[in-house]
A and B are shown apart, each in its own frame.
Chain A
């Protein structure tokens, strides 16, 4: 069996895979460094701060200083922890994060190994990361860790469903699961114009999938103080965050490929198109950082309710809409109309479910104002 597999791989292919993997590791590490710097700077600017300034020009060396510090720190393994699980958990998380990138193309040719079932492969591998988080929570023999691990399992599996359904509707549009063909399919119009609902669902579910604010529930700093990562320190901890940033980058890249036309753009051609790709991805990431600087965190039950009552039905709706559009061969604007209507429904649902308290608040405010108006003449009359 092994022999058969080995025979199918020529030496050239083998060398190419090794070189490609090394290149991928290097590129992703640089991307992660840039993301940590960017996040600090963007958040700093949002929060009236400067962000890092001391390490190099504009603090550009900050990620390297951080990495050095983390690697040099003592790697504490709690005595009561499940040693094997404790060690293997970050590795599982980071491997699944890296493996996704094997098949994400930067341009038509800049890809380690393009797969016909690329989208399917990515979704399948992204689920494995959850296992690492649960193991980390359980293995660290810490109650906060366990709570965080269980939250992670619940949250990530729930939000996997809308991601899959939205990905399916895009695959139906492109008639392929191959990411390169999906991008080629967007030559006439990018899919965000026909599936705005899909983009919004994918963005929200993506935020939940990588545990970004407002869905950073499984490591909620102020409640369960880091969740699965609570016992980790030094290099192990940094590996988790390496994975988190790679996942954030992957979600942004998928969004660009599925909805924003991937690397297609004017002026540039050939492999230079990767500049378009990276530019778009970084714009999406900036939006993610912006959301982080703006929103508080949801509670776990609200998060689950939102997933099952809003996200999942709407993502199924988007599949049905795409299917109807494909089957009857309607013009593209009909799907745009349907999808926009769906988006309006989502907006309405969010308004009903999540903003219901705020309507209450408006009422309360009115009541309070009425009360104060009542009180004021009485008070001033009494004073005189």
Chain B
């Protein structure tokens, strides 16, 4: 068997794939954060908890109602998005006029409450969620074995990310969103219902987190802490990409997943910290982030 840079290709490509999968979750989650931050100026700290809710809703759908993975992939984001809409209308709306730090604190508190409720009900050891029958097994590509489900995660998140990018950058609705992000007062003065857009945008960002949660359910066990572990890394990704940049969130998410995977191959000791080291370097050189506009 041949080797690349002294590393067996199975190990190398295996880690690249793992990196791409982590990157898929980074990308979807940081995209949701970026969309929410753009319009609401709130750093949505409950994003990880909402990702976890997506996984739990999929698990509940299957366990209690017999609703399969594919239906849950559609249903869970809608349900989690609806809870997001309720949160925006009942809570975030009331603090929209004060310092945005309160939004961060509020969503942080919400995350603790949501996680606590799920831990109380389901414990913290994790619940199994089967890979859907259609995506079990895999294919041998010669240089590596590709499990179908892992390939699907990368493809599905790429599709969702690109569709979101297209929606925001290329459609009329996206133009409304960008306009409301840049100058909400004037956009409102043209007769556009900005408060409604704020509500729907929060719901959409949260639904993205729920979607990522469903994708994650068969890979990681469904666990009340699954979001809390991930979200810290995602915040680092957002800082590196630049707060509020749509394309930046997507590109940075996937790239940093890859970087993390490659670090696991070449210098495993640093794999857990490499993203934070990059974050520090980016903050020193380009405080607005790689894709961010200087404020």
**Same complex:** no
Q: Which residues of A contact B (CB under 8 A)?
A: none
